[in-house]
Amino acid sequence: MTTAKEFLFPWPLGDYPEVHSAKRPWLEAVLMGLNSLYGASLTSSRPPTVEQKRVASFIVKSLELFWSWEEKIPASTFKDLFRVKGVDYRGEEIKLARYFNWPCMAAAFPEEVGSLPIEEFCSGGCLSYIHDFKQFLIPEDQKYLGRAPRTMVEDSDWAEVCAGLLRVGICSVLPQSALYHVGGRPLLNGLFAVSKNEVKDGLELHRLIMNMVPLNSLCSGFSGDTCTLPGISGFSAFYLYEGEIAVLASEDIKCFYYLFQIPRSWQRYMGFAREVPRELCPPGHEGWPLPPCIAGITYGVR
Amino acid sequence: MVKAGCHRVLAPGGGEQEIRRDRHLPVSKNLFRVHLDNWDQICKVDRALAADILGQPSNLQVAMREEYDSRLLPRHPKKAVEGSLCAEVQGALINGDAAVATAKPDKIMKYMGLAWELVQRGAATQRELQVIAGGLVYITMFRRQLLCSLNAIWRLIEEMSAEPPVVRWRLPREVKGEVIRFLSLIPLAYMDFRLPMATQVTASDASMTGGGICASAGLTAFGQVAQTALLRGDVSEPFEVVEVLTVGLFDGIGALRVAAEMLHLPVAAHISVDAAANRVVESAFPGTLHVASIQELTASTAQEWACSFSSVGLVSDRLVKMSAA
pLDDT attached to residue B44: 96
Q: Would you call B122 exposed, middle or buried from its count of C-beta atoms within 10 A (0-12, 13-18, 19+)? A: exposed
Write the pLDDT tens digit of every residue in B89-113: 988 999 999 999 999 999 999 999 9
The mean pLDDT of B170-175, rounded to a whole number, is 96
Share of chain A above pLDDT 90, in %: 36
> Does residue A174 share a domain with residue A52?
no
Residue A123 has pLDDT above 60, yes or no: yes
Q: Do A66 and B187 touch (CB under 8 A)?
A: yes
Q: Is residue A73 one of the residues assigned to a domain?
A: no
Are B307 and A244 inside 8 Å of each other by CB?
A: no
Interchain proximity A230–B109, CB inside 8 Å = no
pLDDT of A4 strictly over 70: no
Q: Is residue A233 part of a domain?
A: no
> Which chain A residue is nearest to residue B70, measuring alpha carbons?
A116
Which among A262, A284, A272, A282 is positioned nearest to A132, based on CA atoms?
A: A262
The helix-helix angle for B2-10 and B59-70 (nearest 10°) equals 120
Burial class (CB in 10 A: 0-12, 13-18, 19+), B222: exposed
Residues of chain A neighbouring B91 (CB-CB closer than 8 A): 232
- Note the pLDDT of residue A206: 92
pLDDT band at A27 (very low <50, low <70, confident <90, very high): very high
Whether A14 and A117 map to the same domain: the answer is no
Residue B202's DSSP bridge partners are B215
Residues A143 and A268 in one domain: yes
Nearest to A12 by CA among B179, A3, B146, A41: A41
The answer regarding whether domain B243-324 maps to CATH 3.40.50.150 reads yes
Would you state the pLDDT for residue B11? Answer: 57
Domain ranges of chain B: 2-84, 105-191, 243-324
Nearest to A71 among B109, B142, B183 (CB): B109
Put simply, the answer to whether A30 touches B184 (Cβ < 8 Å) is: yes
Asked if B25's CB is within 8 angstroms of A129's CB, the reply is no
CB distance B130–A220 less than 8 Å?
Answer: no
What are the distances in angstroms from CA A244 to CA A94, A118, B49, B61, B283?
39, 42, 10, 21, 39
Residue A71 to residue B68, Cβ atoms within 8 A: no
Question: Burial letters for A128-146: b for 16+ Cβ neighbours within 10 Å, e otherwise?
Answer: bbbeebeebbeeeeeeebe
Q: Is the Cβ pair B181, A122 closer than 8 Å?
A: no
* pLDDT score for B75: 92
* Res A3: pLDDT: 61
Query: Count of domains in chain A?
Result: 2
Q: Mean pLDDT over all residues of chain A?
A: 86
- Which comes out higher in pLDDT, residue B218 or A284? B218
- Start-end of H helices in chain A: 4-8, 24-38, 50-67, 78-84, 102-106, 124-131, 155-168, 213-216
Of B34, B97, B304, nearest to A245 by CB-CB distance is B97
More confidently predicted of B11 and B48: B48
> Do A28 and A156 belong to one domain?
no
* Contacts A236 to B, Cβ<8 Å: 144, 191
Q: Which amino acid is at B125?
A: T
Q: Which residues of A touch B130 (CB under 8 A)?
A: 87, 91-93
The strand pairing partners of A245, in sequence order, are: B45
Based on the fold, state whether residues A290 and A182 are members of the same structural domain. Answer: yes
Three-state DSSP at A30 gives helix
What does pTM read for this prediction?
0.84
Put simply, the answer to whether A229 touches B102 (Cβ < 8 Å) is: no
pLDDT band (50, 70, 90) for residue B320? very low
ipTM of the complex: 0.85
Q: Which residues have CB under 8 Å from B307's CB, separation 6+?
A: A125, A129, A136, A220, A221, A222, A223
pLDDT for the residue A286: 65
Helices (H) and strands (E) in chain B, counts: 11, 15
- Residue A197 forms contact with B (CB below 8 Å): no
Helix (H) or strand (E) holding B137: helix B126-140
Q: What pLDDT is recorded for position B323?
A: 40
A88-106 residue pLDDT tens: 877 788 899 999 999 998 8
Residues A58 and A114 both lie in one domain = no
- Give the pLDDT confidence score for residue B109 in this predicted structure: 96
From B143, B39, B25, select the one nearest B90 (Cα to Cα): B39
The reported pLDDT for the residue numbered B10 is: 62
- Cβ separation B130–A91 shorter than 8 A: yes
For A90, the closest chain B residue by CA position comes to B130
Between chain A and chain B, the number of residue pairs with CB atoms below 8 A apart is 293
Give the structural domain span for A19: 4-67
* Burial environment of residue A103 by CB neighbours within 10 A (0 to 12, 13 to 18, 19 or more): middle
Q: In terms of Cα–Cα distance, which of B15, B41, B88 is closest to B234?
A: B15
Distance CA A55, CA A27 (A): 11
Please report, for residues A16, A223, B28, B319, the alpha-carbon distance to residue A125 in angstroms, rounded to integers and kept in the order given.
Answer: 62, 10, 30, 22
pLDDT at B5: 59
Residue B192's pLDDT is what? 95
Q: Are B319 and A233 in contact (CB under 8 A)?
A: no
- Contact of B99 with B193, CB cutoff 8 Å: yes
- Whether the CB of A58 is below 8 Å from some CB of chain B: the reply is no
CB-based contact, A256 to chain B, within 8 Å: yes
Most confident of A107-111, A232-236, A277-281, B121-125: B121-125
Higher pLDDT, B309 or B42: B42
CA angle A107-A113-A119, nearest 5°?
Answer: 160
Statement to judge: residues A123 and A43 lie in one domain:
no
Task: Give CA–CA dist B41/B30, Å, rounded.
Answer: 7
Of B4, B133, B193, the CB nearest to A238: B193
Give yes or no: residues A62 and A167 share one domain.
no
- Taking CA atoms, B29 is separated from A242, A245, B221, in Å, by 14, 11, 30
Confidence band, pLDDT 50/70/90 cuts, at residue A190: very high
What is the mean predicted confidence (pLDDT) over A237-260? 92
Residue of B nearest to A64 (CA): B187
**Range ranked top by mean pLDDT from B101-115, B250-264, B289-303:** B101-115
Q: What is the pLDDT of residue B314?
A: 65
User: In this complex, which of A33, A73, A110 lies closest to B184 when CB atoms are compared?
Assistant: A33
Give the number of other Cβ atoms within 10 Å of residue A161's Cβ: 24
DSSP annotation string for B241-298? --EEEEEEET-TTTHHHHHHHHTT--EEEEEEES-S-HHHHHHH-TT-EEES-GGG--
Query: In this complex, is the C-beta atom of A92 within 8 Å of any C-beta atom belonging to chain B?
Result: yes
Query: What rounded mean pLDDT belongs to chain B?
Result: 88
Least confident of A273-287, B21-35, B244-258: A273-287
> Which pLDDT value is given to residue B321?
44
Whether B133 sits inside 8 A of A91 (CB atoms) is: yes
- Please indicate, yes or no, if residue A141 is contained in any of the structural domains: yes
- For residues A273 and A183, membership in a common domain is answered with yes
- Relative to beta strand B243-249, strand B267-273 is parallel
- Tens of pLDDT, residue by residue over B33-46, are 988 788 999 999 99
Determine, yes or no, domain membership for A261.
Answer: yes
Residue of A nearest to B73 (CA): A253
Judge: B72–A62 Cβ closer than 8 Å, yes or no. no
